Structure formats: structure tokens, C-alpha cells
Homo-oligomer: A and B are copies of this chain.
Amino acid sequence: MNRCCPLANVRIVLSHTSHPGNIGATARAMKTMGLSTLYLVNPKSFPDHEADVRASNARDILEQASVVSNLEEALHDTVLTVAMTARLRNLSHRILDARQAAKALLEHASNSPVALVFGRESSGLTTVEISKCQLTVHIPTNPDYSSLNLAAAVQIMAYELRMALTETTLIPPQQPAYQLANFQEIELFYRHLEQAMIDSGFLDPKQPKRLMQRLHRMFARTQLEKEEVNILRGILSALEKHRSA
């Protein structure tokens, strides 16, 4: 159990996985999102070279993985267990979507271990396995082709867990790399632009229509920076100068 980081309390449990490549890809998917605790219930082949290859630099997750012989061992000590289901079966369990399930898991993971359980590649979890879990989670998919790869399903859940943890705060508020132009600088630019348009005959001051208004709207959307105003005014000056030369 880990009180400092809820993600460390989230176990990913793979039951009876056939393809070792999927175990490796699962490790990588987990590590990219900050998960680290992997349980393997009766994997067909593990350890396995293919798992190592697909794990890339997440082999530490494989090395620390717990290989157990039944689901009960993998769920030992957990306070919330969520079963992944590909089909919206007439299940007795409450079904959450991936986002809701991630929130539910994290809510409890601050204090205690929780588990997210994935079944066989071909047939998913058995009814008996599902009955050992408290909730089921379904990832919304294309109804005509819902065959998510096992590691892809883990990736989506791991991503939702990370998103739930951070509520998108992982991207630090962007410090504007450049300084925005102030009101006066922009006004001077507009006047410069308007004069250049008049001098060149593009804008008829007697019939201005809504041209300046449209340009205002466009540059307002841009949120011009100081240097950009300088560049734009530089271009205008060069074109005017060249013209009068």
C-alpha cells in the first residue's frame, strides 16, 4: 500500500493472457501513465522474450510483476475491484464507462489497494471471475468492431487513471513564451495597415465597407505578440518603401 501516490495502489491484473507480447505492451502502457503494479494470473508464457521486446524500457514492471495461480491471490487486500468487459452483457454488476471507473478506482486508491482486472484475449473474463469483482467497466467502442487489443484497453484505462489523478493539471499553465502586444501597439499597427491599404488603392476610404472590422476580428483572434506586430509593420514598411523608391 502506498499513501503518497494513488497510482501505486492500482493493480493491473491480467488473467490467463495468451500472447506474451500483450503482457509486454501492457507493462509499457502502464509505465507511460505512472502505474507500476502488475499481477499475472496463469499467463501462458512468462517470462518471455516477446514480452521483453514489447515492454521496451518498461521491463522493470515485468521484473516486479507478481505471477499467481488464481484471481483471489491477485485481489488480496484490495478494497475495490473492477472487471473489464468488452460486451455490454446482461450483467448483474453496475457498469461504468472508462472515465467513471478511473475516478471510482482513484477515489479509493489514496488509502488502499484497488484492482482493474482484464480477461483472456479471445473471450474476456469468465462469469465466475466477474463475480469476484465489484464493478464492471466498459470502454465505449465502435458497435460494429469492438475488438480492442488487450494492451490497448489497458492503455486507455491507464490514461484515464492518470487524467483522473491530474484533472489535466499535468500540462503546466503555459507561460507565454513571448510578450503580447499592448493596446497602443496594436492600434498603431491597424492605423499603419489602413494607411497602406488606402495608399495602394485596396481600401477606398469613401466606401470602406467592413474591411477594417474584418481585419480587427482576425487579428483579435490571433492575439498578436509584440514581435509579431514589429514584423508585420516591417513588412508593410518594406512594401511601401520599395513602392515609393
> What interface size band does chain A fall in?
35 or more
Say yes or no for A187: interface residue by CB 8 A criterion.
no
Q: Are A163 and B28 in contact (CB under 8 A)?
A: no
Contacts of A107-162 to chain B: CB distance below 8 A: 138-149, 151-152, 155-156, 159, 162
- Oligomeric state, in copies: 2
Say yes or no for A64: interface residue by CB 8 A criterion.
no
Which among B140, B151, B193 is the interface contact of A171 at CB below 8 angstroms? B140
**Cβ of A235: which chain B residues have Cβ within 8 Å of it?**
193, 196-197, 200, 202
Chain B residue nearest to A239 (CB atoms) is B239
Residue interface bits A1-38, CB-to-B below 8 A is 1, else 0: 00000000000000000000000010011011110000
Say yes or no for A231: interface residue by CB 8 A criterion.
yes
Q: Are A214 and B243 in contact (CB under 8 A)?
A: no
Interface 9-residue window, one of A41-49, A76-84, A219-227: A219-227
- State the Cβ distance, A205 to closest chain B Cβ, in Å: 14
**Cβ of A184: which chain B residues have Cβ within 8 Å of it?**
none
**Cβ of A196: which chain B residues have Cβ within 8 Å of it?**
235, 239
**Cβ of A243: which chain B residues have Cβ within 8 Å of it?**
239, 242-243
**Cβ of A225: which chain B residues have Cβ within 8 Å of it?**
218
Residue interface bits A199-219, CB-to-B below 8 A is 1, else 0: 111100000000100110011
**Cβ of A34: which chain B residues have Cβ within 8 Å of it?**
141-142, 144
**Cβ of A99: which chain B residues have Cβ within 8 Å of it?**
163, 168
Say yes or no for A95: interface residue by CB 8 A criterion.
yes
Which among B33, B56, B146, B211 is the interface contact of A141 at CB below 8 angstroms? B33
A-B contact pairs, 24 of them (CB 8 A): A31-B142, A31-B145, A32-B147, A32-B148, A33-B141, A33-B142, A34-B144, A88-B171, A95-B174, A99-B163, A138-B171, A140-B159, A140-B163, A141-B162, A142-B162, A143-B170, A156-B159, A199-B242, A200-B235, A200-B242, A202-B235, A214-B227, A218-B225, A236-B239
The 8 A-B residue pairs whose C-beta atoms are closest, nearest first, are A202-B238, A243-B243, A140-B170, A34-B142, A200-B238, A200-B242, A239-B239, A222-B222
